[in-house]
Structure 1
């Protein structure tokens, strides 16, 4: 009996191995926030997912623009296993992205799967704006922050606040619902905003979805360390005054060093409190865009890097296909259209004048005129009348000559 049972178990195990081997897993790329249209300055996360019933361990590679072409190293692009994140979207980030999943079945054979491409289109049009208070990408544990969806412009059912954290999507708020049923979210005085306490679960991407589309997305990182750098969570505009705050969890730190893209830029002693040191950038420019961090004087405490996104002048937005998307662009199209209409009216007026003069000429010169039909000629009054009179006399003389030739003796 034991032999029979062992044989049956062996057959079942073999059948399971065959089924597993014949299984064709599927690999796909998901984009967060969802959708192929992304906005300048926001954070975007691409995630590679293998749909399989097996428990194999997969390794991942990412490609951009072309299959099997590794992405060019970029400070804003971070690859970590099955995740590919873009810290702050720029125009050149548009394109196609693939992920490749691979698992080894033995020391010499492997299964390699390539996903379908995820195509990202970058829009420079200003999206419906999500409001984050305070406007910062980094927060200390225990701090309070508020997220508010845009004001609805239609009579739709409103906005829904969503968060992507630790590989799952959670619906945080429907615009007309109170925040209290959503766990750690508490509404202070308005139902159109959610207040959170910064803990591990509140790290991640936040955006709003509704009948009018999607808002911009912001990324919040909750720190359990001893130092953070607070930079604006949303893009700033050229010419703005920007203040960066280096905040310590505890202690008095009179001197702090700031860095941009890893290079030391300034040692500041200006402080708004014992634990906050600030650095001010007057008339911020495109050259100021980049990763910033701060550190204590002895370098024993160092913050995470935080991206400062700088955009051109307000209202000067152009989409990636070159179509004007701002108010000034609309005025340009209006001016061009008016110019075309004006040119058409001028050409039409010229044509009507020429047509009228042509008809007048034909009335005088194209149809036979008898002597009886000739009007009496008055004395010329102006130079123009003299010219017309001379022209009429010449025509009369020619008419008399033709009459004499056709009817001799008259």
Structure 2
């Protein structure tokens, strides 16, 4: 007669072959029933740490194009057969020395370009993996930041233009090319330099394209700025917006205006009429890019181009190698399944024993 429910326990041991066995025990009174279940896959819970480690020099995850990075496989024991492998954001799986990188033993020297963005790891000939690292390659070594972030201004308004540079910003300066064809640096006959920034009190002749440039000729992104002598401007982002972001366009009047109703146009077609003078796009998409302008009872703004970018896919980095993670999952699933089956069998046996006793 069964006097208690079965107690199920499991232990794993390492055999000399690739098979592992799971021992399940069920105690019936003072007797112990052992069931051996062979699992046809390799399991190892003794050491879940990766057999190799991928190190990066310089140690960071973001780089600009044409920068060099050294990727090294640090292996416990013999490093022969280990190589650097990557899966780019475009879904291209390849190893160093195919169409990218220069192998040096178990390392790889890469001169980066934006299409090299992706996940990198070390892999052995037998399929063992190291940790994985995400590398992002940016198009420019510097970014031009506009504050306030709008591309249209009234005359005599001030704007701060800053060069954000990765590393040493010495030698970077703000340049512009105006609508009149003048190319010049901040601090000549316009603007007040402050380090790698420039404060400009704007007049209509300042309208043009602005960018940052290094002494060696490297460029940042370029921003178009319009200085309007009229009564109405459109406040729209000067910098590209990311798909999914919320964006607000404002139709501004230079004087006092009691009626703020404004019509907003995209590529020449009326999009919306707003009584507040503001139009919000809750989540911008690629279809929202284009030329925008606004009108109200006092006039019409110039047109401004809004750029929408699609963010790079985020690839999760596992804290343990993929094969070991799969092995861990495979350990848990059979154990849970067998546990449930044995508990059901025990409950049925107990129920049958109770019926025999009552009879």
- Quickly name the TM-score band, shorter chain normalised: 0.3 to 0.5
Q: From the two aligned structures, give the one with the greater strand fraction.
A: 2
* Structure of higher RCO (CA pairs closer than 8 Å, 6+ residues apart): 2
TM-score by length of 2: 0.46
Q: From the two aligned structures, give the one with the greater helix fraction.
A: 1
